[in-house]
């Protein structure tokens, strides 16, 4: 009997471990019987509660084992007008608690298809812009080393530049779908080479983009001179001004003018929230009237299904100017839509 006692204790311990493991697998944040992360449901915890990750997904300290890593970049030191985008990641995550895991319109089920988690924010300095670019690049390079797709929440548009540097190291020069009110191709801003109006000039100069596969949608407003658009066209960019989109569905435009250009190669999506009209997204640093509607933005992103998307970001949400929270809520929805069109996402039966 005494010899059997240790064996019985070991068996009891094993059974206890199995029961606890079952609780972990079936706890909120995981679908029953699945190892894929699930957003915390509003039926398990009230929406104002829980940890404020994107869509209340599990937080991961590392991108190891992830297919998609959502991260924030709380940086707005490249802003030329209204600041506050440094608070964008936190507010977008907060508003994202309203979202649910399945896409009713497209039937996409990203969290039944891919392993997704929120990996937190880049520990980016606020005091040295050049050093900040290095902070962001190193962080994203670390995500990419695990083979996942990085999906960023800005932050001002300066932050896309170091991300593209990391992306190029992994995938080579990439195509770009850039939604914005502004081209962001200034050589400098007040004699500074790194700011939120210069990222795509820098990207071209450093060979980060396949310039034959760059499409900019939503450009509008006043400009400093004629060279801004001319420079983009001379470098092979395809431009679709906002006025070309007025009172139209974006689906035909995407099918005829955008998708054929982006092709089968790797593509990065960068969405500046000021691409939308201020009626839909007032909480941003440099709003311009006459922008796209939120419905048109959905059409653009949903049309990207089938592209070889290797990364994405949504930038320039400024919560201090977003009194209703609608800008951050719209941004959260658009980020979810981007995740829904990533390679490998399956549709519900």
pLDDT at 278 over 70: yes
Mean pLDDT calculated for residue range 198-220: 97
**Residue 175 has which token pair?**
């195509």
What residues are paired with 73 via a beta bridge?
154
- How do beta strands 174-179 and 209-219 pair? parallel
Task: Give percent of the chain with pLDDT exceeding 90.
Answer: 82
Computed from CA positions of residues 172, 175, 176, 177, in that sequence, does the dihedral angle turn out positive or negative?
negative
> Tell me: the pLDDT tens digits for 128-168?
999 999 999 999 999 999 999 999 999 999 999 999 999 99
Per-residue confidence (pLDDT) for residue 1, from 0 to 100 = 47
pLDDT at 3 over 90: no
**Residue 190 has which token pair?**
């007040």
Phi, psi for residue 324 in degrees, rounded to 5: -90, -15
Residues flagged as binding site? 157, 180, 182, 184, 272, 274
Q: What is the mean pLDDT of the chain?
A: 91
Alpha-carbon distance of 3 to 213, in angstroms, equals 73
Per-residue confidence (pLDDT) for residue 18, from 0 to 100 = 41
Residues 6+ apart with CB under 8 A from 6: none
Is the entire prediction scored with pTM above 0.85? yes
Residues flagged as binding site for Mn(2+)? 157, 180, 182, 184, 272, 274
Residues 6+ apart with CB under 8 A from 191: none
Task: Give percent of the chain with pLDDT exceeding 70.
Answer: 90
Per-residue confidence (pLDDT) for residue 118, from 0 to 100 = 99
Per-residue confidence (pLDDT) for residue 17, from 0 to 100 = 34
> Tell me: the pLDDT tens digits for 28-60?
444 444 799 999 999 999 999 999 999 999 999
Per-residue three-class SS string for 194-256: CCCCCHHHHHHHCCCEEEEEEEEEEECCCCCCCHHHHHHHHCCCEEEEHHHCCCCCCHHHHHH
> Tell me: the pLDDT tens digits for 109-139?
999 999 999 999 999 999 999 999 999 999 9
**Residue 102 has which token pair?**
């399945």
């Amino acid at each position: 009997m005494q010899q059997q006692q240790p064996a019985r204790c070991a068996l009891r311990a094993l059974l206890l471990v199995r029961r606890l493991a079952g609780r972990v697998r079936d706890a909120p944040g995981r679908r029953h019987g699945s190892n894929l992360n699930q957003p915390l449901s509003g039926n398990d915890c009230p929406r104002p509660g829980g940890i404020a990750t994107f869509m209340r997904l599990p937080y991961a300290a590392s991108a190891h084992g992830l297919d998609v890593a959502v991260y924030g970049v709380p940086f707005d030191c490249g802003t030329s007008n209204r600041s506050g985008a440094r608070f964008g990641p936190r507010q977008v995550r907060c508003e994202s608690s309203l979202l649910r895991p399945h896409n009713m319109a497209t039937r996409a089920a990203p969290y039944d298809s891919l392993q997704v988690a929120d990996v937190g924010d880049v520990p980016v300095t606020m005091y040295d812009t050049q050093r900040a670019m290095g902070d962001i690049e190193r962080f994203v390079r670390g995500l990419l080393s695990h083979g996942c797709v990085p999906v960023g929440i800005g932050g001002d548009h300066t932050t896309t530049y170091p991300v593209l540097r990391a992306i190029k190291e992994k995938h080579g020069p990439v195509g770009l779908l850039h939604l914005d009110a502004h081209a962001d191709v200034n050589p400098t801003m007040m004699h500074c080479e790194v700011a939120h109006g210069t990222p795509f000039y820098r990207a071209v100069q450093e060979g980060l983009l396949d310039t034959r596969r760059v499409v900019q949608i939503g450009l509008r407003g006043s400009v400093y001179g004629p060279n801004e658009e001319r420079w983009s066209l001379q470098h092979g960019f395809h431009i679709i001004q906002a006025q070309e989109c007025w009172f139209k569905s974006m689906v035909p435009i995407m099918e005829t003018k955008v998708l054929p250009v982006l092709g089968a190669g790797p593509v990065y999506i960068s969405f500046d929230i000021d691409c939308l009209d201020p009626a839909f997204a007032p909480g941003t640093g440099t709003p311009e009237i006459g922008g796209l509607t939120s419905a048109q933005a959905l059409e653009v992103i949903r049309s990207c299904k089938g592209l070889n998307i290797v990364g994405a970001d949504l930038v320039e949400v400024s919560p201090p100017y977003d009194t209703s929270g609608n800008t951050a809520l719209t941004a959260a929805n658009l980020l979810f839509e981007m995740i829904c069109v990533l390679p490998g996402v399956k549709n519900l039966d």
